[in-house]
Copies of this chain bind each other. A is one copy, B any other.
Amino acid sequence: MTKDMTPLLGYRLKLAQHALHRRLEAALKPLGLNPAQYAVLAELNARPDQTNADLAERAFITPQSMQGVLAKLEDSRLVERRQDVRHGRRQLARLTPEGHVKAEAANAEVMRVEEVLEAAVRPDAIQDALDLMERLHSAMCR
């Protein structure tokens, strides 16, 4: 007989991340963004002029999926794409001024969630928690 799932690390990891995801969705919804769109805005804010392929890799989704994300951000005039002068195929994405404002606002919301998350951990244990997540991540990628 299969036992109760509750004491499994994988199960609890899933639960925690699922709740976080819902929370982020709720926090970003008033801004008209979803977590994937936020991730792109934040990434382009930190490093402008990246290609669709670059952004996809950093966000851990496929280029095909990122295509859809970028298309919507372009429709919303938060991101613009230009032909790379040196390459005929590459298109470099960057934030519009409006996109920059939106990115900052979204980041504030996300940081608010992050603070709630960190408040659940003893201050001196946050680094341990970060290390734990990294170890779990590495173990699953091997």
Chain A residues near B (Cβ < 8 Å)? 1-5, 7-10, 12-24, 42, 45-46, 60, 103-104, 107, 110, 113-114, 116-121, 125-126, 129-130, 132-142
Contact = CB atoms under 8 A, between A and B. Distances in A.
A114 B8 contact: yes
Given A2-B46, A140-B117, A13 B18 contact: no
B46 A130 contact: no
Nearest to A17: B17
Contacts of A24: 10
In the assembly, how many copies of this chain are there?
Answer: 2
A4 B141 CA distance: 21
Nearest to A13: B17
Contact of A20 (B10, B45, B119, B126): B10
A95 to B, nearest CB: 10
Contacts of A19: 136-137, 140-141
